[in-house]
Amino acid sequence: MLTIKKFPFGHINNFKIGYYKKCGGTFKMSSQTTSFRLESETMGFIEEFSKEKGETKGEALRELLVNGRLMLAIKMYKKNKISIGKAAKIAGTCISEMIDILSEFGVKSNIAIEDYKESLITARKNLIKRSN
């Protein structure tokens, strides 16, 4: 069982193989097995990283992928290439958590009126779901 207790930059996230806690809910992840080639240097890094953490190479690779998705989302949002909603989707989280993450990194908001509208629509949908 892999638990990412803390990202290197301070963001706390709980991730367990097979289950993912996301914005107040827990759901079972579907998994697939895949195979691909990696450069020797990259494979060496994964092996070293997994040994340092006392994890399997698969667990270490999953942690690196989670962190990589998050960093990609932050980088693209910071450069105004994507909306906050798209950043949250890339990072695998919800908009409110993405706002907190961006704040932790000192990334200033580039929220446009479309983002505010999207947030309002999502909030209304969530309120309707909760009232039913």
Q: What is the pLDDT of residues 97-132, one digit of tens each?
A: 999 999 999 998 887 678 778 888 888 888 888 887
Of the candidates 126, 62, 125, 73, which has an alpha carbon nearest to the alpha carbon of residue 99?
73
The predicted pLDDT at position 29 comes to: 60
CA-to-CA distance for 67 and 78, rounded, in angstroms?
16
- Pairwise CA distance, residues 61 & 51, whole Å: 12
pTM over 0.85: no
What are phi and psi for residue 106, nearest 5 degrees?
75, 25
pLDDT in tens, 44-66: 999 999 999 999 999 999 899 99
Whether 2 shows a pLDDT value over 70: the answer reads no
